[in-house]
């Protein structure tokens, strides 16, 4: 919305101005007399439809800011909920995703990956796989291996056989999972003070010093990555669900030593991806395999473990926070340090593609960038949104990334808001203050105060009491990137100490993402953000041992299922007519996590600073207390 939506709004205003001008000239009247109703210029001696004004020409002009946007009060459609046009087709089986694309003569491919990053294909019994029913090709290039068959299940069976027929050697040793945070903090880092220089000089009477951690977490799309490729007459076409067709094309052209102009990527929807997942890599797989089989359309479908083991994860992160409280219960100093691996390894060059790393002449990863403030990467939302005298915030950017990582919904915002809003809650408690009032006293942006107040009111914050033992409530707020949508979340949950199970009874939120286009679309995004973030917070951690990643399927990487779905999620979108679109999709992730953390503390008296709040961890922590 922020970018494309704003561009379309401005372009529409421009076109309207141009067309009204043309109508005025044709009718010989002043433009001021004319107005537009539903694509027809009215108010003059006769009505002229837009179509008649551009008959027989392509209106292609540079934007010059001739138009003025319509008065928000005049909007007929924007601001009302309307049904999505894609839903009926998707819910009745029409082809809608790249996975559904079938080209005449299409063959099916599967990739055969190394058991761990960096392993080399030492031996491979190619003939055994080629002899299998339906197998039409085995594609090998260095450590890159794929099988192709005329039937899809034949390709699956060939993949399984190829796994048995391959002997891999070497590969990196993964670090011990329990030491990953120490290792991250001990790694060589690029350090940047992103906010303040002086950590305050008040006279604190109390000091809190804490550390929060977040493990590697997955996008883990429900539909594993897929792409279809066709190489014909020296030209390559790829159908892909990548988030960036142009960067991916560039990387694929480099991988194949082809001219970019001879490579075309056509976007088709895939299953939800939540950032940089396997989509670009699957497109590269299709490219590499299709160029080996000229004239034959090739569909590459990753299996579940290809996605789980090889997608770039969301970075593990550590936050250390330290703050002092005055006798009046005010925060007088604040030091906050965040350690993170990169949050984007998108293409980039061919080295940013899995295939680029595996081919005989491998490519090197384009050095990941340290995404700068104000949006930030690992430090996204690391700067407190509150009026705190003397706050210093430092980012420690570690590029030696251990596991493959890249952009996952919200980047560092999830961890920073979890940490920051947990810490603010800890400080409120130490100050003996109500968590909502404590925040409101430090917020001077009225739009921030409005979402906080709205969520607290809808939740019934004042006067809330636990309906029975084991219940707790928690609150959190953030403005995404400190410059986009405002979101507050209040949670009521219940903990069962014997099982370590958390049930979210109510999630109540409010969101201000500027001018609202489709209120139900805003609700859908926030509801989804809350539920997904609850899953990250309660369940998710990539598991690995020294020689492999263990989280190869849903049993080794559990996510939220229906038994853990909240009983109720309420969203109040706050409309800001005429204000810029701020985007809604990523603002709920952080506040939800922190609201759960704060509610857990409220319910049990225990503060857990390490994610996730899995039943096992919770049981262990609660038994210790």
Q: Which residues bind ligand FES (CB under 6 A)?
A: 222, 271-272
Angle, alpha carbons 325-331-334 (nearest 5°): 100
Quote the least distance from Cβ 592 to ligand FES, whole Å: 18
The residue (of 223 and 615) whose beta carbon lies closer to other proteins is: 223
Residue 87 interacts with, from ligand FES, other proteins, none (CB under 5-8 Å by kind): other proteins
> Token pair of 232, please?
């014909």
* Of residues 477, 200, 209, 192, the one with CA closest to residue 338: 192
Quote the least distance from Cβ 96 to other proteins, whole Å: 7
The residue (of 349 and 528) whose beta carbon lies closer to other proteins is: 528
Residue 566 interacts with, from ligand FES, other proteins, none (CB under 5-8 Å by kind): other proteins
Can residue 404 be called a binding residue for other proteins (CB under 8 A)? no
Residue 86 interacts with, from other proteins, ligand FES, none (CB under 5-8 Å by kind): other proteins
Quote the least distance from Cβ 413 to ligand FES, whole Å: 21
Quote the least distance from Cβ 168 to other proteins, whole Å: 23
Can residue 566 be called a binding residue for other proteins (CB under 8 A)? yes
Q: How many residues bind other proteins (CB under 8 A)?
A: 67
Residue 561 interacts with, from ligand FES, other proteins, none (CB under 5-8 Å by kind): other proteins
* Full DSSP string of 367-430: PPP-PPTTT-STTTT-S-SS--SSEEEEEEE----SS-B--BTTTTHHHHHHHHHHHHHHHHHH
CA 517: distance to chain centroid?
21
Q: Are 449 and 561 in contact (CB under 8 A)?
A: no
Residue 554 interacts with, from other proteins, ligand FES, none (CB under 5-8 Å by kind): other proteins
Angle, alpha carbons 524-528-534 (nearest 5°): 155
Can residue 87 be called a binding residue for other proteins (CB under 8 A)? yes
Quote the least distance from Cβ 91 to ligand FES, whole Å: 11
Task: Please report which residue ranges of 28-91 form alpha helices under DSSP H.
Answer: 50-53, 87-90
Can residue 210 be called a binding residue for other proteins (CB under 8 A)? no
Can residue 60 be called a binding residue for other proteins (CB under 8 A)? no
Question: 304, 327, 400, 605: which one contacts other proteins (CB under 8 A)?
Answer: 304
Can residue 80 be called a binding residue for other proteins (CB under 8 A)? no
The residue (of 123 and 563) whose beta carbon lies closer to other proteins is: 563
Can residue 530 be called a binding residue for other proteins (CB under 8 A)? yes
Residue 179 interacts with, from other proteins, ligand FES, none (CB under 5-8 Å by kind): none
Distance of alpha carbon 145 from alpha carbon 159, whole angstroms: 10
Q: Are 215 and 223 in contact (CB under 8 A)?
A: no
The residue (of 202 and 272) whose beta carbon lies closer to ligand FES is: 272
CA dihedral over 35, 41, 47, 53, signed as positive or negative: positive
Phi/psi at 75 (nearest 5 deg)?
-60, 135
Quote the least distance from Cβ 528 to ligand FES, whole Å: 8
Stretch that binds other proteins, among 117-125, 172-180, 330-338, 531-539 (CB under 8 A): 531-539
Q: Name beta bridge partners: 276.
A: none
Residue 288 interacts with, from ligand FES, other proteins, none (CB under 5-8 Å by kind): none
Hey, what's the torsion of the CAs at 470, 459, 589, 439, to 10 degrees?
A: -100
Can residue 39 be called a binding residue for other proteins (CB under 8 A)? no
Residue 562 interacts with, from other proteins, ligand FES, none (CB under 5-8 Å by kind): other proteins
The residue (of 210 and 271) whose beta carbon lies closer to ligand FES is: 271
At residue 21, the 3 state secondary structure works out as: helix
**CB 364: neighbour CB atoms within 10 A?**
11
Quote the least distance from Cβ 591 to other proteins, whole Å: 14
The residue (of 87 and 172) whose beta carbon lies closer to other proteins is: 87
| CA distances, 41 to each of 31, 49, 55, 56, 66 (Å) | 10, 6, 15, 18, 17
Task: Give the footprint of other proteins on residues 463-492 (CB under 8 A).
Answer: 467-468
Can residue 84 be called a binding residue for other proteins (CB under 8 A)? yes
Task: Give the footprint of other proteins on residues 264-293 (CB under 8 A).
Answer: 269-272, 274
* Full DSSP string of 558-578: ----GGGS-SEEEEEEPP-TT
**CB 284: neighbour CB atoms within 10 A?**
31
- Antiparallel, parallel or unpaired: β 298-301 and 107-111: parallel
Helices (H) and strands (E) in the chain, counts: 16, 23
**CB 454: neighbour CB atoms within 10 A?**
20
The residue (of 492 and 512) whose beta carbon lies closer to other proteins is: 492
Residue 96 interacts with, from other proteins, ligand FES, none (CB under 5-8 Å by kind): other proteins
The residue (of 140 and 572) whose beta carbon lies closer to other proteins is: 572
The residue (of 200 and 591) whose beta carbon lies closer to other proteins is: 591
Question: 74, 76, 197, 555: which one contacts other proteins (CB under 8 A)?
Answer: 555
Distance of alpha carbon 309 from alpha carbon 24, whole angstroms: 62
Question: 122, 128, 222, 437: which one contacts other proteins (CB under 8 A)?
Answer: 222
**Buried b / exposed e across 93-110, counting CB within 10 Å, b at 16+?**
eeebebbebeeeebbbbb
**Buried b / exposed e across 552-565, counting CB within 10 Å, b at 16+?**
beeeebbbbeeebe
Hey, what's the torsion of the CAs at 511, 517, 520, 523, to 10 degrees?
A: -20
Stretch that binds other proteins, among 140-148, 296-304, 390-398, 436-444 (CB under 8 A): 296-304
Q: Can you list the positions of beta strands (E) in 117-157?
A: 119-124, 135-141, 144-149
Can residue 301 be called a binding residue for other proteins (CB under 8 A)? yes
The residue (of 230 and 560) whose beta carbon lies closer to ligand FES is: 560
**CB 402: neighbour CB atoms within 10 A?**
20
Residues that bind other proteins (CB under 8 A): 83-84, 86-97, 99-100, 102, 133, 151-154, 156, 220-224, 269-272, 274, 301, 303-304, 467-468, 494, 503, 505, 520, 524-525, 527-535, 553-555, 559-563, 565-570
């Amino acid at each position: 919305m922020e970018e494309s939506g704003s561009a379309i709004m401005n372009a529409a205003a421009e076109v309207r101005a141009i067309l009204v001008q043309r109508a005025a000239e044709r009718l010989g009247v002043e433009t001021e007399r004319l107005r537009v109703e539903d694509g027809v210029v009215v108010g003059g001696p006769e009505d002229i439809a837009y179509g008649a004004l551009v008959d027989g020409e392509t209106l292609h002009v540079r934007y010059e800011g001739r138009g003025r946007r319509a008065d928000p009060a005049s909007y007929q459609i924007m601001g009302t909920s309307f049904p999505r046009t894609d839903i009926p087709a998707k819910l009745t089986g029409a082809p809608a995703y790249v996975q559904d694309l079938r080209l005449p003569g299409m063959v099916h491919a599967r990739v055969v990956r190394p058991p761990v990053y960096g392993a080399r294909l030492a031996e491979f019994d190619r003939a055994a796989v080629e002899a299998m029913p339906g197998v039409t090709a085995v594609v090998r290039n260095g450590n890159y291996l794929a099988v192709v068959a005329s039937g899809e299940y034949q390709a699956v069976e060939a993949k399984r056989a190829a796994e048995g027929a391959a002997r891999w050697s070497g590969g990196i040793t993964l670090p011990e999972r329990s030491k990953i945070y120490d290792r991250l903090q001990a790694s060589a880092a690029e350090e940047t003070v992103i906010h303040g220089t002086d950590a305050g000089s008040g006279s604190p009477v109390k000091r809190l010093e804490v550390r929060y951690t977040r493990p590697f977490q997955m996008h883990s799309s429900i539909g594993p990555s897929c792409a279809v490729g066709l190489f014909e007459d020296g030209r390559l076409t790829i159908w892909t669900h990548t988030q960036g067709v142009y960067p991916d094309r560039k990387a694929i052209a480099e991988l194949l030593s082809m001219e970019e102009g001879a490579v075309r990527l056509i976007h088709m929807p895939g299953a939800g991806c939540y950032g940089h997942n396997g989509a670009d890599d699957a497109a590269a797989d299709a490219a590499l395999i299709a160029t080996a089989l000229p004239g034959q359309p090739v569909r590459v479908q990753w299996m579940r473990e290809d996605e789980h083991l090889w997608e770039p994860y969301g970075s593990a992160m550590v936050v250390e926070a330290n703050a002092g409280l005055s006798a009046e219960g005010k925060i007088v100093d604040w030091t906050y340090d965040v350690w993170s691996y990169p949050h984007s390894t998108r293409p980039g060059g061919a080295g940013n593609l899995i295939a680029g790393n595996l081919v005989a002449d491998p490519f090197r990863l384009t050095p990941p960038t340290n995404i700068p403030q104000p949006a930030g990467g690992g430090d996204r939302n690391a700067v407190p949104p509150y009026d705190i005298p003397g706050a210093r915030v430092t980012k420690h950017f570690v590029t030696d990334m251990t596991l493959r990582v890249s952009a996952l919904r919200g980047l560092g915002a999830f961890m920073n808001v979890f940490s920051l809003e947990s810490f603010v809650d800890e400080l409120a408690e130490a100050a003996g203050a109500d968590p909502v009032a404590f925040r409101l006293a430090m917020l001077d942006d009225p739009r921030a105060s409005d979402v906080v107040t709205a969520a607290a009111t809808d939740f019934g914050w004042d006067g809330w009491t636990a309906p029975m033992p084991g219940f707790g409530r928690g609150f959190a707020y953030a403005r995404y990137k400190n410059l986009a949508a405002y979101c507050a979340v209040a949670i009521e949950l219940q903990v069962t100490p014997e099982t370590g199970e958390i049930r979210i009874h109510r999630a109540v939120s409010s969101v201000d993402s500027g001018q609202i286009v489709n209120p139900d679309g805003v609700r859908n995004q926030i509801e989804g953000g809350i539920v997904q973030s609850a899953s990250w917070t309660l369940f998710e951690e990539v598991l690995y041992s020294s020689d492999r990643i263990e989280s190869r399927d849903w049993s080794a990487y559990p996510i939220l299922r229906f038994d853990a779905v909240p009983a109720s999620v309420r969203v109040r979108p706050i409309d800001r007519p005429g204000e810029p679109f701020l985007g809604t999709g990523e603002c709920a992730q952080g506040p939800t996590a922190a609201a759960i953390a704060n509610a857990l503390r409220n319910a049990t008296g225990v503060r857990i600073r390490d994610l996730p709040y899995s039943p096992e961890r919770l049981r262990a922590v609660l038994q210790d207390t």
